[in-house]
Amino acid sequence: MAKVKKTKRSVIVILCSVVVCVSFAISLFSLIRDIKDIDKEIEAVRLATASQQAENEELRRQLYSNDKDEYVAGIAREEGYINPGERVYYDISVND
């Protein structure tokens, strides 16, 4: 009888140990997947930061350059403004 109780206890202990190990393994794989996802997000943010820094540098260069008037005139033309006395011609022909 004592042998049966000891066997039942050892089976229960082994079963509990296996369940705990499987639980830890599942948690580990889940954490690894989360870490990979976060690494991808970090890389995307780094790329966006690099792009924004390049754009900022270009704007800084334009701000401190000597051709500010040309830059402002270019922006004004994009917005549809013209200089006094200028004529604007629009090509209304359709090129298919």
Q: How far apart are CA 11 and CA 7, in angstroms?
A: 6
pLDDT at 81: 82
Q: What is the 3-state secondary structure (H, E, C) of the chain?
A: CHHHHHHHHHHHHHHHHHHHHHHHHHHHHHHHHHHHHHHHHHHHHHHHHHHHHHHHHHHHHHHHCCCHHHHHHHHHHHCCCCCCCCCCCCCCCCCC
Print pLDDT tens along the chain (96 aa): 556 667 888 889 999 999 999 999 999 999 999 999 999 999 999 999 999 999 999 888 888 887 777 878 888 888 878 888 888 777 888 775
Q: pTM of this prediction? A: 0.53
pLDDT at 73: 81
Measured CA distances, 95 to 65, 91, 92 (Å): 39, 10, 9
pLDDT at 6: 72
